[in-house]
Structure formats: structure tokens, C-alpha cells
Amino acid sequence: MIDRNKLTSLHRKQRTIATTAKVSGTGYWSGKDVCVEFCPAPSGHGIQFVRTDLDPAVKIPALVPYRIEVPRRTTLVVDGQTVEMVEHVLAAIHGLQIDNLEVRVNTAEMPGCDGSSSDFVDALQMAGIVEQESEISLLIVTEPVKVGDDQSWVEARPSKHGDFSFKYRLDFGSDNCIGRETFSTTVTPDIFIKELASARTFLLEEEARWLRQQGFGKHVTFKDLLIFGEEGPLENELRFENECVRHKGLDLIGDLALAGCGIVGHFVAHRSGHRLNSALVRALLAEFSVQERLQRSA
């Protein structure tokens, strides 16, 4: 339980960027060229994607009610129009504690870049992050909430220190080189930049071959993301000894961003993915509103 004095200290001003920033690349799934333009937005705006290739343009809020289930990525939809693989973009925004942005894109899928959030973080930092007048809203976890089953699950717990932190347990078993990894950290902008932003998407070689057989990722090479063979990454090198579990933590941060507010809590995940991460956000928001959380925690 967080007392009134600590609750007051948790508040901060909302933030946006000082000027526009762009990231261009190719979608892993679609193979299409895409340009993402980050634009400043006023207090209270939140994070909204805008499909500028459509006439009229379609705005898609980065909120969990707009999420639909699509394998291996986080996808949002409004009026049948989607933005796809948004988790790495949202991880960069949430990890840097940016609250208000318009994210303009000229196709549905975000650029894969190197499979991490680094390019998005670099662009947002280059644009400059500025404070705004209004304070953020906070989702404060005051009691445990868990979703999943014995094989895979994710749980939100009250924070002992009044911050946002997580522990992720990755378990690929003992019959491949990824094996079991665990990573835990408090999430601040500095820690996100240094410890999480550059952790890349990874696949086992057999998964990558199957996806290519289905017609996906034919333009993607072993150097574009981490593909693991029997003895380690193929034609690539790890950035961290435990890069895989760090990337799962990055995905968790991106999915939790769909709460649409600041988060105070400790999250423990065991083999969780996008579906369970977003299910936990839904469960937390269904438990009680952000305003009720603030009152109950005080």
C-alpha cells in the first residue's frame, strides 16, 4: 500500500516531443516500405496512430480496447483499418515516459528496423522531450492481478518502492541454445535506453523457415534480427548475453503502454507474450478505474 506522501511524489508532468521526428524502414511481415513520423501533441491527447495513406486519414488510439488478436505481434484496429507490430514503437514511447504523440504512418505495419526499439528511441531523443502543464494519470497496482495458466502467465503486484518494475522468466527448455533466462529491472528512461531498447526480436531457425514457407519475411536476412540455430545466432552476434529475455521485457513494456497512462507496479511474467500481456492490461482496467486506484491507494 502506498501512503499519501509517496503517492504525491509519484506524479510528474505529461511529456511530448519538441519537434517532429521520422523513422523509415520495411515491414517484416508485409515487406512494404513505411515511414513513421512522430509529431508533438497537446496535454491529454495520449498516443494516437494516424494512417495518412487513407482518405480520410484514420486515427487509431494506442489503447487496449482497440487491440485485436494477431499472432506474434500487437495490432490495433479502428473501422477495419489497422496498425500492426506497434509494440516496439510503444515500448520506446513508454520507456522514455512520453505521454502525448501523434504517430503518422503511411501503411499498416511499422518498420522492423533491427528488431529492437533503438531507432525509435534515437529519433525521439533527437526531437527533444519536453514537459507540459498537466500531470499524468497513474495506474497504481494495489493488489495482485494474474492472468494465464501454469504454462504461461503474467501477474501485476503492488510496488514496494512506488515505481514501475518487472521480472521476466524465459523458458525455451533444454533442447536449444536459448534455454532459460531471467531478467529483472526497474524501468526508467535511462535504464530503458541502456538495458532494453537495443534488445532484438528473436526466432528459432525452424520458426523462421516455417514463416518463410507461409510467405512472410522473405526479404529479411539473418542480419536483420536474431535467428537461433543449434549453436547460437546465425550470422549475427548477441548484444547482451541474455538478449532474448530482455527483448521479452521490451515487448511487455510496449504492451503495458496500452493502459494509456503511467504505471506503478511490479510485473512478474513467465513465458508470457502479447496476448497475455494485453489481457493483464484489460484485467487491471476492469478492476477499477485509474481515478479509483488513486483514491484507494491514498
Question: Catalytic residue positions?
Answer: 274
Angle at which helices 118-127 and 87-95 cross, to 10°: 40
What distance in Å separates the CA atoms of residue 170 and residue 50, rounded to the nearest whole number?
34
User: Which region, left, alpha or beta, applies to residue 192 given φ > 0 means left and ψ of -120 to 50 means alpha?
Assistant: alpha
User: What is the sign, positive or negative, of the torsion defined by CA atoms of 188, 190, 194, 198?
Assistant: positive
What distance in Å separates the CA atoms of residue 41 and residue 146, rounded to the nearest whole number?
34
Q: Which of 188, 204, 205, 208 is nearest to 196 (CA)?
A: 188
What are 287's three cell numbers? 478492476
3-class DSSP state of 290? helix
Are the C-beta atoms of residues 49 and 85 closer than 8 Å to each other?
no
The CA-based angle 8-44-10, given to 5 degrees, is 15
Paired strand residues for 51: 58, 105
